[in-house]
Amino acid sequence: MHIGGKAVKTATALKVELPYDGSEVGTVYRAFREQVDSAVAAAKAAGPAMGEMTREERSCILRKVHEAMLERRDALASAIVSECGKPIREARTEVERAAYTILFSSEEAHRLVGEVVPMDAEPAGKGHYAMTVREPLGVIAAITPFNFPMNLAMHKIGPALAAGNTVVHKPASTTPISGILMADIFAECGLPQGALNVITGPGGEIGDLLVFHPDVVMVTFTGSPEVGLRIRNLAGMKRVTLELGNNSAVIVDEDANLEEAAARCTAGAFAHSGQVCISVQRIYVQSRVKSEFLERMAANAGKLVIGHPREAGTDISSLITPKEAERVQGWVAEAKSAGAKVVTGGEHRGRATVEPTVLADVPETSPVMCKEVFGPVVGVNGYERLEEAIELVNRSDYGLQAGIYTRDMEKAWKAARQVHVGGFMINEIPQFRVDQMPYGGVKLSGSGREGPRYAIEEMTEPKLICWKV
Ligand code: NAP
């Protein structure tokens, strides 16, 4: 662990495994109350040093981190492969994206502004002048999931530090390595000791300690709705940002470019074996083009290479644990017995791998449609009228991102306005994200937005300063 600028071990070692074959790839140490308390104390003690830094000093550290990440991209990508089994090509992309997230954060350190308030817009305000200044909140707990262990951590750490806060980061137990490597890089790039601390161990135990800690002023969480809701309920007056799950839907209209839509939907359904919060999970295709679309999806899925995540040609590696692979395969079997057709895939292979699976005519009540699969499974159902497709997309407890493929501007606009989500894509899959855009959901997908410019607003207090002349 990293606490107050020092490497910290406890007597309890935790093994980190490569999910694809279960081989041991590292060891971390379990935090207890003592380490949680000392990490929060170190973060609190570093507050004044961070607060005294100029915007340029904070921005400069982040720029150095961006450069260091690109210089070490191979080692960082290799760490991501080891701990989460992500195919190496996707792991390299994650490192590059994470480096951009830090670069955008460094730019936001310069741009962070308050505003002049027009006090005399009300007669009582005559002779009064006011402005807001954006002040850091203090110690922020950043709790992150396994599927993008580096970029999602940088989406919290980058904006928090850019605004002058300090951080205690708790990565997922399956993927603790990249967080620790990143803390080394921040320290080398001149971040004051204690401004970024990383503690490892079971979220169910140390998570509560962090959320309840009186010196933690904000919890920024990415992960499952169950844990997110628990944090929301326990956090009391603390500020909370929640980036949770989804069962992303896309509408494919009869006039869409089917070749492109099928190619992008295949990529969006099976990247990182579907373990992406905006993975394409439900596709509603206009009935007249459904069989052609399904043929294309099946052909594309059939070309994906299943293999070891370190092989350059691998598209599909494994799920995070064998238990997850069993769950996903069980959901496929359940959909099949409820009447769904397995167009391709559906089998559990090796230790924790599930074949890329395309299902058709899936009952809307099947878990593969109405819950979050978080595996390489996509359901394709037909529709007759756009209104019906919009209603099906909205028939979800989630609302992170959704999309439509169509050449008809009127239909695209209608869907964009009527689908209830945080982000809507036209002629692009809902899995599309660049790291500077506002990103977050409605309903069970969470609250608050990420993307450095938007996260930094959540991580600062707009203090009003008023004076009478
Ligand atoms: P998870 O089980 O909710 O875990 C996320 C983090 O929370 C881990 O660090 C976990 O620690 C910790 N945690 C567990 N119980 C906790 C508690 N009681 N209090 C505080 N922290 C606790 O999620 P996951 O399986 O890692 O990730 C998959 C989920 O994340 C999916 O639902 C996915 O959609 C969502 N996700 C959302 C986004 C987004 O931006 N909206 C992005 C990526 C993923 P341990 O690992 O030690 O249990």
Q: Where are the domains of the chain?
A: 2-244+445-468, 248-434
Ligand 1 pocket member 302 (CB < 6 A): no
Integer Cα distance of 196 and 414 in angstroms: 45
Ligand 1 pocket member 399 (CB < 6 A): no
Ligand 1 pocket member 222 (CB < 6 A): yes
The pick from 216, 227, 229, 324 for probing ligand 1's pocket by mutation, whose C-beta has the most ligand atoms within 8 angstroms, reads 227
Asked if 59 contacts 164 with a C-beta cutoff of 8 angstroms, the reply is no
Mean pLDDT by 10 residues, the chain (469 residues): 98 98 98 98 98 97 98 98 98 98 98 97 98 98 98 98 98 98 98 98 96 98 98 97 98 98 98 98 98 98 98 98 98 98 96 98 98 98 98 98 98 98 98 98 98 98 97
pLDDT at 119: 98
Residue nearest (by alpha carbon) to ligand 1 atom 26: 145
Relative to the CA of 243, which ligand 1 atom is closest?
41
Q: Which residues pair with residue 425 across a beta bridge? A: 403
Q: For residue 299, which phi and psi values (nearest 5 degrees)?
A: -65, -45
Catalytic annotation, residues:
243, 277
As a CATH number, domain 2-244+445-468 is: 3.40.605.10
Ligand 1 pocket member 138 (CB < 6 A): no
Integer Cα distance of 2 and 198 in angstroms: 5
- CB half-sphere exposure, 205, CA atoms < 13 A: 12
Asked if 145 contacts 176 with a C-beta cutoff of 8 angstroms, the reply is no
Tens digits of residue pLDDT in 292-305: 999 999 999 999 99
Gap from CA of 59 to ligand 1 centroid (Å):
29
pLDDT at 283: 98
pLDDT at 62: 98
Q: What is the token pair recorded at 394?
A: 């909205």
The pick from 36, 83, 146, 449 for probing ligand 1's pocket by mutation, whose C-beta has the most ligand atoms within 8 angstroms, reads 146
What's the alpha-carbon Rg for the chain, to the nearest Å?
A: 23
Gap from CA of 228 to ligand 1 centroid (Å):
8
CATH class of 248-434: alpha beta
Asked if 383 contacts 285 with a C-beta cutoff of 8 angstroms, the reply is yes
pLDDT at 191: 98
Task: Tell me the C-alpha to C-alpha distance, in Å, between residue 175 and each of 26, 103, 393.
Answer: 10, 23, 32
pLDDT at 236: 95
Other Cβ atoms less than 10 A from the Cβ of 407: the count is 12
pLDDT at 353: 98
Ligand 1 pocket member 147 (CB < 6 A): yes
pLDDT at 107: 98
Gap from CA of 171 to ligand 1 centroid (Å):
9
E-only strand ranges, 195-332: 196-198, 216-222, 239-243, 249-252, 282-286
Instruction: Indicate whether this model's pTM tops 0.85.
Output: yes
